[in-house]
Amino acid sequence: MMRALGLMSGTSVDGVDVALIETDGERIASLGPCLTIPYADDVRRLIRAAFGAELPTDATRAAERAVTDAHATAVRRWSAEQRIALSTIDLVGFHGQTITHRPEKRFTWQIGDGAALARSLGVRVVNDLRSADVASGGQGAPLVPVYHAALARDLPRPLAIVNVGGVANVTWIGADDSLLAFDTGPGNGPIDDWCMRRAGQRYDKDGMLAATGTVDRTRLARFSEHRFFAKIPPKSLDRGDFGDAWAEGLGAADGAATLTAGTARAVALAARHFPAPVVQWVICGGGARNPTLLRAIAEETRGKVVTAADLGWDGDALEAHAFGFLAVRSLRGLPLTFPTTTGAPRPLTGGTLHLP
């Protein structure tokens, strides 16, 4: 077993999650403490200015330096607060910050300097975990299903685990441990953008704004006809593929309510691709902290909806734990992605190892 730190920064650009996991990349011995450090506003602006880039520019270089420094700072703070010396950590799994994801062009970009982070921390670092899959024709996402399967080993099947970040994705786990995974559609991204533009707040805390609004059912019906939902998996999205423009013209609360319903509808529409109905939906990621969204998902799926926390998992740290798990798999040469999760031509490993 190895002690690995997983680092995650999602498309919501909230901040850096740090989490400890003890694993051999197949079994989970223990899930250790975690810490979330929000990005400073200036770092968040630098990252957003780099979104969509496909070539290095001054903007992407500035964003990468800021992201790498923020991750190093977060790890050191985690170490200090938990009183766990970095010398006891075997490996760091560094997801980096996705700024562009265009698998149809065989291109994905997660900024973050793995070599610089390894030097700074004095610990081996594995990063660039998506590129090998995308270069082989896979979607490069979602990456977490193999971790979901390890985490849910003892739960009733079939089961759906939905991670609602900036984009939402689902892992379907069959009774025979078979996996199917894909992006479902928008997650928190459009809701966050709407709240920023129309309500002067970074996100809809506890879904309170949406809870006071009324869903525009006509717009929601049109949204449901988007061609992405009918597309057969594997499929994945860029943060910008679904925006908040379809709510334009509504008031702040009604727009938030309609966009929230859209995220829930997209999750429910994913079930048309499942090989068999699920006994429950497990919601994790930032969306699990939004009671209005959780109610909407339950209404749209007409199923049993629980959160990762309800199962005793740390939903906020789930993806960070996952990237520690994936880093160990990468080090061991084990596959990270599969034909049924990303559309890879065969089970593929990935990642780049950096020595301190």
pLDDT tens digit sequence for 185-200: 999 999 999 999 999 9
Q: Is 191 in contact with 260 (CB distance < 8 Å)?
A: yes
**Domain encompassing residue 286:** 145-311
Q: Is 95 in contact with 129 (CB distance < 8 Å)?
A: yes
What's the Cα-to-Cα distance from 136 to each of 81, 93, 236, 349, rounded to whole Å? 41, 22, 15, 11
User: What's the first-to-final CA gap in the chain, in angstroms?
Assistant: 21
Q: Is 330 in contact with 336 (CB distance < 8 Å)?
A: yes
Q: Is 268 in contact with 297 (CB distance < 8 Å)?
A: yes
Same domain, residue pair 74 and 175: no
* Residues β-bridged to residue 98: 110
pLDDT per residue over 62-83, tens digit each?
999 999 999 999 999 999 999 9
- CA–CA distance, 281 with 293 (Å, rounded to integer): 13
Same domain, residue pair 181 and 243: yes
What's the Cα-to-Cα distance from 292 to each of 264, 298, 314, 356, rounded to whole Å? 10, 10, 20, 45
pLDDT per residue over 289-336, tens digit each?
999 999 999 999 999 999 999 999 988 799 999 999 999 999 999 999
Q: What is the model's pLDDT at position 343?
A: 94
Same domain, residue pair 63 and 210: no
DSSP symbol at 344: -
Q: What is the model's pLDDT at position 142?
A: 87
Low-confidence ranges of the chain (pLDDT < 70): none
Same domain, residue pair 202 and 220: yes
Quote the distance between the C-alpha of residue 86 and its chain's center: 25
- Asked whether residue 298 is assigned to any structural domain, the reply reads yes
- CATH code at 55? 3.30.420.40
- Asked whether residue 57 is assigned to any structural domain, the reply reads yes
Q: What is the model's pLDDT at position 19?
A: 98
Same domain, residue pair 128 and 277: no
Give the DSSP H or E segment for 33: strand 28-38
Number of domains in the chain: 2
What's the Cα-to-Cα distance from 290 to each of 10, 132, 232, 295, 347, rounded to whole Å? 17, 34, 29, 9, 35
- How are beta strands 125-127 and 159-164 bridged, if at all? unpaired
Q: Is 215 in contact with 251 (CB distance < 8 Å)?
A: no
Model pTM? Answer: 0.88
Same domain, residue pair 191 and 330: no
φ, ψ at 344 (rounded to 5°)? -60, 150
